[in-house]
Structure 1
Amino acid sequence: MDPVTNAGGSAVHSYRISTVVPGQVTPGNLVHELSGADLAMKLHYLKGVYYYPASETVEGLSVPIMKVTMFPWLDICFPAAGRIRRDGGGRPYIKCNDAGVRILEAWTDLSLEEWLDRQETDRHRPLVPDKVIGPDLHFSPTVYLQITRFKCGGIAVGFSWAHLLGDPVSATNCINLWGQLLTGKEKAKYQICSRQNESKGQEKPLLDASLPPSVKQVEHTGDFWQSPSSKKMGTFFIELPAAKLNYLQSKMPKNISTFETLSAILWKSIARIRTEKETKLVTICRNRSTEKSRILGNLQTISTVESSLSPEKVGLQELANLIHTETVDEMETVQELVNRESEKLDVIVYGSNLTFVDMESIDIYGLELKGQKPRHVEYSIDGVGEEGAVLVLQGTDEKQVDGNASMEG
């Protein structure tokens, strides 16, 4: 594989590629059915990068050592090692055939400090595989891991997760489970949802007007599951210190969450900048599943909220209260439509409108390598539409909340 060069001229290079499969053979003919909610997310991909400073523990972790605990990890999360197939009607499902997850090992000529000091857009990109499902569905992994070694001895773990496997809670639960096994903790119980296909129904394709406002129909992608877009999107990260966050929260009613406060501030700010675009309607994505449920699937809520006035003319408290009280959950409608038209309807959720994603309560710092927590974590979503998306994440102890935005560039 060719080196990946970032905007600053430094390179991630010397790639090694391998595959890890479950340690035990998954029973034959086992399939993981994809719900309408799963298929609605098939053009989106979660990307996470975990940064670990140099230490005796980290420097002693070779990729072969890491792989030893990946075998029992995939015994538990076996759908992640499967491949996409289609049934007789063309509906996708996952065949649990133990084809495995793809592992990349790479090196960079920068230290961890030098990497994190850079502020350019998309700095995390070279540290996580940039892959989508297709065009060869039968051979495309749904999960990738990339281990990148910095010259100082630190490492980055890049994690690419096809969103059709599950929501951000599912993704972080799954990768955190690998860390628990690597650390030697007792195996956590992990439930894999089993679903039956619902009636496929109508022959007439749905018109865009039939869709709820939280999703947007896109050109049919066939077997190449990449969101079609004519716009170049870029991801940048914003870090808020605890003192600043506490000050912002002090100006809000007690029932307003941090996520709602930050979403209101950014909604108002983006509306002020985008004078040529209407931003009265936004999409809100929240996680309905809990950390303890250990469920693999897309259980998040997808809602919309609309301001009667331009958000730049509305007070922050009023906008935050709209997000808190006036959202309308559309996930059930989305699921029904995709179930009915799964063979010919492709949609995007993130970026169909300006989208705010609540990841505040998700344990993104839970991936421990032999007991060592990451110093810093970055998450983004690929396949975002041109209206953009904002993720609100946990921060470290010093930075109480982090966030990133994928916006048109």
Structure 2
Amino acid sequence: MGSIPDLETPSHTSRISTVVPATPRGDQNGEFQLTYMDLLMKLHYIRPVYFFPPEAVQGLTISDFKKPMFMLLDTYSHVSGRIRRSESGRPFIKCNDAGVRIAEAYSDKTLKDWFHENGLYSVDGMVHDHVLGPHLSFSPLVFVKFTWFKCGGLSIGLSWAHVLGDAFSAFNFMTKWSQILSGHIPPKSLHKPNNLTEPAEFPQYSITENPISIKKARVIGEYWLGANDNDVATHSFHFTSKQLQQYLLTSYTTKTKTKTSYFEVISAMLLKYIAQIRGEFGPKVVTICTSNISNREENEFPNNGLVLSKFEADLASDISDLARLIAEKKIVENHIMKKLVERDEGKEDFIVYGANLTFVDLEEAEIIYGVKLNGHKPVMANCTFRGVGDEGVVLVLPAPPEDNGDGRIVTVSLPEKELHQLKDKIGEEWSIV
């Protein structure tokens, strides 16, 4: 299974246009070389969505939204480029000012009606469903979709090719766009980060050993998209700060001095739930995806600053022990992945999210609420990933600011049957739908 985007009839889309950098590069077109982690993530796409009430967009037009993008792309010039291949076959980005795509859409529903019918945290239809291919040299790396609602509200959906950078980079791109919209001068240049994916010490592996956190992928035709054996569906759960605090007080015993985060506790809990659903086929090894957000600078160049670790789960452990073990016993695999990708010049196709059941720590990504229109933050923001493998992915994101800053949005992509069972289980135990 697996599906390519329906580019012909996206729901309610009326117009697609292109925005290019404000300053043409002319003969100075450059090449942006992709890192091993960029190439490892090339079959995945990051899709954040922001919903704004009518008062946030009063007086703003599509022309107003496009103008900051011209200036932003002067700084993020490679984002408006296109994929090329070197003589060896290794992909790179040609910075040719081909631009990003802007999609305009209209809904005959109010925001209230849309949330009532689709759920408060659903993003279905709010992102232009794009993937790279079949002609890579013509495929935009970014789509931004603006959907106007009948009430005057607005959603902004970003489809960001993961080859450009991780979720923090995607969120930061949209935050910078909104800052320019509000009158801030864009940075003249971005800081190139140090290699964030190389820990100081890591265990010794043979180059012949395959990392557990990824797997080779079957792609769909000439698209940069992995094929699935099952239909993977997505649903989001809102765990409030009150629920999480109560859970920690009543169910979580502190057996050691190891401090565990909400991400580790939620990961341990959902690992137990999904293992119960899968029975004897339950996950024995999972992937933990983290990023050292404290090392990132405000005007940092987009990058895939991810740390991918394997965790061998003892499913007989209780949730508190599992959370502690996730914090203490996960084993970083980036170094062997680097050898694997570089040896093949990035020509091999891999799946990361969903190769194993994958838990992604985005709980420090408050920047997702950094996008503001007319001084208003979004009433809701969420993020999903495109290109998730059959084992599924769990994203742990911050809840809206009104939840005292301590709640979490947990966005889960699993095979449909398993997702229905997980919804039933969380509904029974947490009264969350």
- Name the TM-score, length of structure 2 as normaliser: 0.84
Give the whole-Å Cα distance in 1 for the aligned partners of 2:185 and 2:401.
26
Give the whole-Å Cα distance in 2 for the aligned partners of 1:279 and 1:255.
25
1:235-254 mapped onto 2 (5 Å cutoff): 235-250=234-249, 251=252, 253=254
Per-residue CA deviation, residues 355-409 of structure 1 (Å, 9 max, x unaligned), is 0000000121111123221010110001111000000001113342111001111
Which structure has greater helix proportion? Answer: 2
Count of aligned pairs between the two proteins:
387
Q: Is residue 2:379 matched to residue 1:380?
A: no
Q: Which of residues 249, 252, 257 in structure 1 aligns to 2:261?
A: 257
1:357, 1:392 within 8 Å by CA — same for their partners in 2?
yes
Give the whole-Å Cα distance in 2 for the aligned partners of 1:325 and 1:190.
38
1:69, 1:178 within 8 Å by CA — same for their partners in 2?
yes
Q: 1:171 to 1:65 in 2, by over 3 A?
A: same
Q: Which moved more, 1:91-100 or 1:291-300?
A: 291-300
Give the whole-Å Cα distance in 2 for the aligned partners of 1:76 and 1:29.
14
1:132-147 mapped onto 2 (5 Å cutoff): 132-147=131-146
Deviation at 1:66, TM superposition (A): 0.9
Q: Percent identity?
A: 39
Q: Which residue of 2 aligns with 1:202?
A: none
Q: Is residue 2:307 matched to residue 1:301?
A: yes
Give the whole-Å Cα distance in 2 for the aligned partners of 1:152 and 1:72.
30
Q: Which moved more, 1:137-146 or 1:208-217?
A: 208-217
Deviation at 1:291, TM superposition (A): 4.6
Say which SS state the counterpart of residue 243 (structure 2) adopts: helix
Q: 1:357 to 1:317 in 2, by over 3 A?
A: same
1:140-289 mapped onto 2 (5 Å cutoff): 140-188=139-187, 191=190, 193=192, 210-219=209-218, 223-250=222-249, 251=252, 253=254, 255-289=259-293
Q: Which runs of 5+ in 1 are unaligned?
A: 5-11, 196-207
Q: Which residue of 1 aligns with 2:325?
A: 322
Say which SS state the counterpart of residue 269 (structure 1) adopts: helix
Q: Which of residues 357, 364, 387 in structure 1 aligns to 2:360?
A: 357
- Give the counterpart letter for 1:215 in structure 2: I
Q: Which residue of 2 aligns with 1:113?
A: 112
Q: Which runs of 5+ in 2 are unaligned?
A: 1-6, 195-206, 417-433
Q: Which residue of 1 aligns with 2:297?
A: 292
2:121, 2:382 within 8 Å by CA — same for their partners in 1?
no
Deviation at 1:283, TM superposition (A): 0.3
Deviation at 1:122, TM superposition (A): 9.4
Q: Which residue of 2 aligns with 1:205?
A: none
Which structure has greater strand proportion? Answer: 1
Deviation at 1:220, TM superposition (A): 5.5
Q: Give the superposed CA RMSD.
A: 2.3
- Give the counterpart letter for 2:362 in structure 1: M
Give the whole-Å Cα distance in 1 for the aligned partners of 2:179 and 2:15.
25
Q: Which residue of 1 aligns with 2:350?
A: 347
Say which SS state the counterpart of residue 219 (structure 1) adopts: coil
Q: 1:389 to 1:342 in 2, by over 3 A?
A: same
Q: 1:291 to 1:371 in 2, by over 3 A?
A: farther
Q: 1:332 to 1:149 in 2, by over 3 A?
A: same
1:84, 1:93 within 8 Å by CA — same for their partners in 2?
yes
Q: 1:22 to 1:139 in 2, by over 3 A?
A: same
1:177, 1:188 within 8 Å by CA — same for their partners in 2?
no
Q: Which residue of 2 aligns with 1:405?
A: 412
- Give the counterpart letter for 1:319 in structure 2: L
